[in-house]
Every structure is written in C-alpha cells, then in structure tokens.
Structure 1
Amino acid sequence: MYHSPTADAEVAEELAAARPDLLPRYTAALPGARAAVLTRLWRALAHEPLPWLTGRVGGAHSLALRLADGRTLHGPHADPYATGGCVGAVHLDRERYDDPARLMTDLAVPHVAGLAVELGHSVASLALSRAGADHPKEWPEQDWEWEQRVVDGHPFHPNCRSRPGFSVAEQLSYGPEHRPVVELGTVAVPTAECLVSGDWPEELRSPGRLLLPVHPWQAAHVLKRSCDPWRPARPLMSLRTLALPGGPHVKTALSARLTSSVRDISAYSVEASAALTSLASDLAARTDGLLHITRTLGAATAHSPDLAALLRESPQVYAGPGERVLPVAALPTTALPDSPAWLADFSRLALTVGLRLLDLGVALEAHGQNLLVILSADGTPLRLVYRDLADIRISPARLTRHGIAPPALTGRLITDDETALRRKLFGSLVAGALAGTAGSGPALGAALAAAVPDLPRTRDLAALCEGPVPAKALTLMRLSPGTPGDLWTSLPNPLVLEPGT
C-alpha cells in the first residue's frame, strides 16, 4: 500500500535526528493526517469545477465522479461545509486509495505532479504538527497562545500544512503549533532606498538607515545573509506574522508557498497600508462599536517583496477587562457551548458587520485567520476585530453613494464589480469562518436561518440567501499555474441544503 514514502520517510528521518522523542507520536499521527488531507481533497473533487471531471452522480450513500477519460471515482457524500468526519479511502474504478498524493498521481491530470508532492508534504507536516501539539486545557491569557491552538491549519485546503522549503527542525522552530520563541533580526537599508508608509519607530532607525525586521527563515534561505539580533517574538497562525512581548505584531516577508500563496510583501501593500488603515477605521466607526480594525502602525520595504515588514496593532488592545479576543479559527478548540443558539448569535454578529461594511463599500476577507471575536467572560460573542487589510476589496461607487471619499488607490484592491465584492466577503466569511465554526452544512444552515431575520435588508443579503455560496476553488487554483488570481466555485446554499448533500 502506497503512503507517500518520500515525504513520510524524509520527515521521519529528520525527526529522528531533531526530536527523536516525537517520532512515535509522528508515526501514530500519520494515518489520521492522511485521512484529514484526503477529506479536504475529496471535498474539492466533489465541488470544484475541475475541467477533467465530466459528471457527478449522487447515490443513496455515495458519490461518483466521472472523469473525461472514462474512469470513475467513488467516495462518500461530501458536505462542502464539514470540518469533522473523515474520508478514510476513495476508489478509482476498482483501486482503493487512502493516500491523497498517490490518488492525484494516478489521476494523471494536467499539472498534477507539483500538487501531488505538496499533498505528500501536507500529510507529513500535519502529522508532525499533531505530534507536537500538547496544549493546556485552560483558556489562554495571551493573544498569541490562541494562535498556537490551531494545529491543523486551513480547514478546507488540501495543502493545509504544506510548508515546502522548511526542514523538520525549522518547522519545530517556527511553526506556531510547536510553541517556539523566534528570534527576529533586522537588516539595515539606506533610508533613501526604502519606501515607508505610516510611522516607522525610532528603535528601527539608525542614522541614514532603516532597520527592517526579518524572519530567520527568510534570512537563511532567501536573503542568504546574517541579520543583526533584534527581539524575540511568538509566531501567529500565519507563521510569518509574530507577536512581540507587550507590543505590536510584526508581519515579515516569507518567500515560501504556504497553502496557496507565496507570503512576501509587495511594495503596493506597503504603499497602500496607511490609506487602508484610515479608510477601514472610519468605516468601523460606523458599526455601532461592533467592529475594531487593527491599525497598521508602520510599513517599510527596500523595494523588494523579499525584504519588507509591517507593524500592526495587537488585537488584544481591543479586549476589555474580563474579555478575551481570539481568531475565529481557534473557536473549535475552546470549550464554548456547543449550542445552535451560540452559533446563531455569532453568525448574526459576523454577518451584521460584514454586510454593513459591504454596503458601505468594503468587502472584508473575513476568514478564520483575519477575523477575531471578542468574548465575554461567559463566552458570549460581543464584538469583532479584523486584521490584515492587504486583500480586501474597495468599491469607489458604493463609498461615494454613502458620501465617503474613496481612497486615492488604484490596482487590485479597487473594484465596483458586485460579483467580485460578494465573492470576497461570502467566500471568506460564510464558506470560511462561519462554516469552519459550524462544522457542517446543516449546522451552518440552521445558524444562518436564525440570523437572517435580524440582518440589514440589502441586495447583498438577498444574493446570499437566494443563490449559491461562492468559495475559492483552492485545488483548481493549484492545478492552473498559468491562470493568475483567484478561481471560484459555487457551493450549494446552506439555507436549502438537503440531507446527504
């Protein structure tokens, strides 16, 4: 039986040298990690517009996918919003597959070789993450501690834990789920050679130079140079963003492909950061106190996506006494009430805020990493915090309609296309943050049904209620190397999902 021997064996060999005490736990975690990645892959095969699939036929207890070459894939029903459950195996004609990398290799569809390798590494890295996860049961006190509890990564992406270019020792040293302290460095760059937005702090300046924070992985593998020691920090869910003790969060350039994207920082993002912070803060003030925006305090780049950094407020500054702020992706790790009423309350809060900003003219990318929730001492969802404005969408026409001056920005963030705006919000919030919290289509549908009557009656709400839900076609994007930008699929509306869908 094939089990991605290269990735599995490579990680096991490195782990035996770096942390031999984790090797038995890693080996024990491999079957579950394999099933977790296969579950995400099967969801993609069932619901994305993959050009080499010509038909989908649902039976009483199974789903059949017909390939253009005449073969047929068989597996269980795939709830597009489920995060629980487990697909242990699927069949390609008569052959059984429990390994996602082997399955994609044998499908032999265009551009599959790279994805198959990534799937093998996703399995191995996920097993490593699970082997090293040993978090206390009590609720954390520090914001970065919540980030460490999200062990499995993206709830729907087959590359949920793919970290190409990272050795086992580096994953243990930099992955938030392993709870490390990362020693950030700085690189001195002549001020005249830098682009700066916002306020760059004095501690990151020297005569005639700016000191740009650098992640140690970036220094070793991309910049290939040593850095001056700066400050210890704790990595957050995004791995390249880190929390300084008692201070802001630092977003560093990390020129590695994590899930779908290379995580560098463009000059466009640096230049736009101050204007985005100003606009988003103004709009948040129009939500009756339900939304806070973490301000970008300063951003700088040496005119290179490989050497840039942003300093951003910690979400912790918006939590009052007795309150806790945590990423939505961490909600499933808490001991919150497992009740439809709680989920409906949270969905109502998130959709009220998201729809309000969308109507004003800004579509948030409100997935479980960017969106945080402030909870009362008893776990009641009170307010939201949004961080990382680098990939929102802004509609000048909608802003103008509400008497708001559009920012002096051009480029990819600016669009008046209603489909693009709704895809950005609904794809991240409904098919992402809310689905990941609900854990299934029926639970999500019930929460939305309870929340919708209290939501602002806008055309965007009507579109959400009446049509399919957009979601990024994450696997199609990885199999379409010549197609820039996001690709999309349409998921069945959870408000009208039928049992077994």
Structure 2
Amino acid sequence: MHRPRAAEVQFAEELAVLRPDLVARYEAELPGARAAVLSRLWRGLTHEPLPWITAREGGREGLTLRLADGRRLHGPHPDPFATAAQVTAVRLDEVAHDDPARLMTCLAVPHGTDFAAELADSVASLALSRAGQPPRSQEWPEHDWEWEQRIVDGHPYHPNCRARPGFSVAEQLAYGPEHRPLVRLGSVPVPAGECLVTGAWPAELRDGERLLLPVHPWQAEHVLKRPLPEGVPAHPLMSLRTLALTGGGPHVKTALSARLTSSVRDISVYSIGMSAILSEFAETLTERMDGLLRFTRTLGAVTAGTPELAAVLRESPQVYGDRVLPVAALATTGLPASPSWLAEFTRLALTAGLRLLELGVALEAHGQNLLVVLSESGAPLGLVYRDLADIRVSPAGLARHGIPVPALSGRVVTDDVRALRRKLFGSLVAGALAATAGSAPALRGALETAVRDLPRTPDLAALLEQPLPTKALTLMRLSPGTAGDQWTELPNPLL
C-alpha cells in the first residue's frame, strides 16, 4: 500500500469499530475529499513562489509547471478564488494523480514527506467530516455555536483544510465541531501568584487563592498528561479549541498544542499580556465606526507562564443580536447569493476594513474572525470582529488621526504600510470576500460595484491597482525552518 493512502484505511478501520454505520458514507466521500484537497494544493502550486518550480506556462489545454529537475506538472487553469473542487487529477509527466498526498510524495521536494502526511490526514478527516453530516435543517439556528458547527470543510483555500494530526477518529468525533459533540472542559488549579492575569477572572473559576484554568480534554491527555475531572460542558466552535458554554455566557479559548492547518494552537504568554490592552483599545475604535463594526470584548485571560496552560474568556458575538454568524457560515444559511447581496456585503466589509486601515489598524478579517449581523430578511446590517491577537496597529497612523496610542509591543505593532495592507487585503479580500463569492467572476462583480462609492484613499488605490496579497499557505508548510507568515500575490480580479 502506498503510504499516503494508509491514513484513509486507518480511518476506515477505526470507524468500523466506533461508528460502523458511517463506514460506507465515509468511503463514498473519499473521492470528493481528495478532489477538494487537490484543488487547494494545485492553487498553491500554481500561484506561490516555490523554489523548485522554475516556470509556469499557460495554454489552451491548461497550465504546465516546469520543475527544477526537468519534470513537468500539468493541470487545469485554476481560479484562485474558487471554493468548489475544480481539480480531480493532475499529470506529473505522463502519470495522472488524483491523490494530493501521493502527488506530493512523488514530487520528492524538500520537506514534502511531512507535508504529504498532513495532506493524507486532511483528506481522511474531510471525508469523515462530510460523512457525519445530518440533513440540514431549514430553521434558523437559535444559538451561535450552531452556525459554527455547520462549517464542515474547514479553510476554503488551505490544503490542510481539515488536517488534525495527533487526533484519532474517536477524538475527532468527540471534539470536532462539525460532529456536534458536547465537550466537557477540565480545569487545572494554579496559585494566583504564579499566573499572569489580565482583565477580570470570574469568581466561578477561582478556588480560594487558586485560579481554575479551563483545559481542553485533548490537551489534558496528550500535553499535560494528567487526568482531569470532567467539568463544565461546552460546544466546540469552528476553531475547535474555542467553545461556547452551555446555557450561554462567554466563549472559552483554550490552549490546544496540536497543529491545525498551519499553526500549533497554543496561547502565547505575549497574547495574554496584550489581551486587555487590545480589548480596551478596540472599544475606542468602535466609536469611529458609526455602527458598522463592533468588537467582542475579552473578559479575562490567564496563563500559568507557559503557552500550553492558558485560557481566554471572550464575549459571545450573540450579544449583538440573534442573527450574528461567522462569514464562513454564510454559505450554510440558504439565503440566495445574489450579485446585489454580495455587492452590498462587500461594500459593508470594505468600508469598515478600509476605514480602520486609514486610522492605522489592520484586521485579520478572515471568515472565522469576521462575523456579519443579518436582518430578518437576510440583509447585511453590520459586522462583528473577534480575536484581536493577530491584528496589526500602526502608532504613526493612530497619531495622524489624534488617537491615543495604546501601550502595545511586539508583533502587533508596525508602521510598515505593506504589512498593514497585506494583513487586511489578504484576510478580507482574498479570504472572507473571495470565499463568500466563490469564484473570480463573482468576486470581480462584487468588488466593481462595492468600490464605486468608497472614498479614494491610498489604501483603496493599492487595492484597485496592485496584485492581491495572500498567505503562501503551501510554501509555509514546506518551509518549516522559516518563522512567521510568507506571502504571494494573486491576480487582482479588478485588473
């Protein structure tokens, strides 16, 4: 057996023991899952600056990539903004490949073996996620977490869209939001004097002089390696490590030292230290947004001095209305995705994002962090943003507009205009808006309509006239020794 396919077989064997009723559905979903991951991989191969690809040659019959060793890789012309699977096979010289993991193995490029294993896991996990879906109710969900659990396929453009290395099938079923489990968070008591605390830590998570830090059960077993008594029940959200407590209340962001898509999901001591300052700063920004955008507040954050044992309590977006859902969940609403609706949503999102960028703040406004407030008829009324840990703030930009500069430090702070624009355009335009549109023609139409009435700022000019920046997701997975984000450029749909 070729090694990448072993992940699919392993999943099937585990599923046969745990959920034999899902085996046939899982196997039926595998071809579609391979195509979905292969389409994301082909997007990366055709648009990212991979050092072993020396040329890209387009023709009537598709696109050919010339490799440094003389081989040729051929496939269809990709739409870099498409969300539907477009690629069912590509040819490496004369051999057709429908399996992204097998293709990566055969390419034999540096760090490709590890990436191939991640791709294999992504395929198997995606097939499992799709197999477990019930018929979708047409009723409007009552709770915020119900929207998030409708998102099945994960990241719309990352080849590791569903990769969860280190998670067994049983753990995916027990913790993956798309499987709709109820997760019981444990807690670790830590002396308050040994903790860094920002914001207000609630009384119900205190035990005398000790703070009770919520811990994900996967983290307790695999990282902390200690059994914890089952605690409060919660519903996992689309990020898996953040959960909504049953009965309402705040969302709990837990440390989860597993690699999901690109990153290990710890909570850094730095982000805990900055959390209260960023939350207070965001409240001052709300006053300048004329109701277009609100921010969920960080209520409290604690670390025991290590990224593996930390937690954040964050306000639920549902405090801003019953019809608030992540942009990534828009495709699950059943609302007609008309060009006029898409243009209005795009105008709203660009207005808010560009206004903040002009002030000196760049949001990481992808489909998970950015939420939309809908009217009873489904019209976009406003936006909500959550998770401030990865925004960028320009002290010079704030000063130009008379905004007091908060006491921030580290990676959040930059006056680099290119970095600020990359952050916003890469997440909002090449991310949330592109995925909502689902194709280059739809995105182009929405942008053309939306930008007509926007103020002609230098940032808008850059958006209109330059290639569109986006994270080089495949390059990042093939460059394990390179820290931080790496970038590429996509064809600007407006050019």
Determine the C-alpha separation between the residues in 2 that align with 1:50 and 1:458. 33
Amino acid at match of 1:193: E
SS class of match (1:412)? helix
Q: CA shift at 1:60, angstroms?
A: 1.6
Distance 2:60 2:140 in 1: 42
Paired AA for residue 115 in structure 2: L
Match of 1:64 in 2: 64
Indicate the SS of the match to 2:335. coil
How far the C-alpha of 1:334 sits from its partner, in A, is: 1.7
Match of 1:18 in 2: 18
In the TM superposition, what is the alpha-carbon distance from 1:254 to its structure 2 partner? Answer: 0.1
Structure 1 residue aligned with 2:371: 372
The question of 1:436 aligning with 2:438 is answered no
1:301 corresponding residue in structure 2: 303
SS of residue paired to 1:34: helix
Q: Does 1:208 align with 2:209?
A: yes
- Which residue number corresponds to residue 91 of structure 2? 91
Structure 2 equivalent of residue 223 of structure 1:
224
SS of alignment partner, residue 45 of structure 1: helix
Report the alpha carbon displacement of residue 2 of structure 1 after superposing the two structures with TM.
5.7
Partner of 2:128: 128
SS of aligned partner of 2:411: coil
CA shift, 1:82, in A, is 0.7
Q: Which residue of 2 aligns with 1:499?
A: none
| Superposition deviation, residue 61 in structure 1 | 3.4
Paired position in structure 1 for 2:269: 267
Name the CA distance, whole Å, in 1 between partners of 2:416 and 2:409. 14
Can you give the 5+ residue segments of structure 2 that lack an aligned partner in the other structure?
none
SS at match of 1:390: helix
Secondary structure, counterpart of 1:435 in structure 2: helix
Deviations 1:267-300 (A, max 9, x none): 1110100000011111122110011100000000
Q: Distance between the aligned counterparts of 1:139 and 1:100, measured in 2?
A: 36
Contact 2:360 2:396 in 1 (8 A): yes
1:450 is matched with 449
For each residue in 1:323-365, what CA deviation from the matched residue of structure 2 results, as whole angstroms up to 9, or x when unmatched? 5110000111121122110000000000000001111111000
SS, match of residue 303 in structure 1: strand
Contact 1:355 1:456 in 2 (8 A): no
Aligned AA for 2:286?
Answer: A
- With the length of structure 1 as denominator, give the TM-score of the two structures: 0.97
Q: Equivalent residues in 2 for 1:320-335 (5 A)?
A: 323-335=322-334
- Structure 2: which amino acid aligns with 1:159? N
Which has the larger displacement, 249-258 or 285-294? 285-294
Give yes or no for contact 2:190–2:211 (8 Å, CA) kept in 1: yes
Q: Give the superposition deviation at 1:139.
A: 2.2
How far does residue 457 in structure 1 lie from its aligned partner after superposition?
A: 2.0
Distance in 1 between residues matched to 2:152 and 2:266, nearest whole Å: 23
Structure 1 segments unaligned to the other structure (5+ residues): 497-501
The separation in 2 between residues aligned to 1:434 and 1:143, in whole angstroms, is: 21
Residue 388 of structure 1 and its aligned partner are, at CA, apart by 0.3
| Contact persistence 2:296–2:386 (CA under 8 A) | yes
Shift of 1:137: 2.9
Question: What corresponds to 2:385 in structure 1?
Answer: 386
C-alpha separation in 1, matches of 2:423 and 2:399: 20
Offset of residue 421 of structure 1: 0.3
Code of the residue aligned with 2:354 in structure 1: it is L
- Percent identical among aligned pairs is 72
Aligned to 2:483: 484
Q: 1:469–1:490: 8 Å Cα contact kept in structure 2? A: yes
**1:35-58 Cα shifts (integer Å, max 9, x gaps):** 000000001001111111011111
> Secondary structure at 2:305's aligned position in 1?
coil
Normalised by the length of structure 2, the TM-score is 0.98
Read off the aligned partner of 2:10 and give its amino acid letter.
E
- How many residue pairs get matched? 493
Q: Does 1:144 align with 2:111?
A: no
Any conservation in 1 of the 2:36–2:84 contact (CA below 8 Å)?
no
In the aligned structure 2, how far is the partner of 1:68 from the partner of 1:101? Answer: 20
User: Aligned partners of 2:152, 2:310: CA distance in 1, in Å?
Assistant: 27
Distance 1:133 1:85 in 2: 19
The residue number in structure 2 matching 1:165 is 166
Q: Please list the CA deviations of residues 120-176 of structure 1 after superposition, one character each: whole Å capped at 9, or x if unmatched.
A: 000000000000112323221110000011100000000000001100000000000
Q: SS at the partner of 2:301?
A: strand
Match of residue 315 from structure 2: 313
SS in 2 for 1:433: helix
Kindly state the Cα deviation for residue 3 of structure 1 after the two structures are TM-superposed: 8.3
1:175 corresponds in structure 2 to 176
Distance 1:91 1:45 in 2: 13
Q: How far apart in 1 are the matches of 2:243 and 2:342?
A: 29
Question: 1:205-245 CA deviation, whole Å, 9 max, x = no partner?
Answer: 11110000000000000001122332100000000000012
Give the distance between the partners of 2:49 and 2:63, measured in 1 at CA: 16
CA distance in 2, matches of 1:112, 1:405: 47
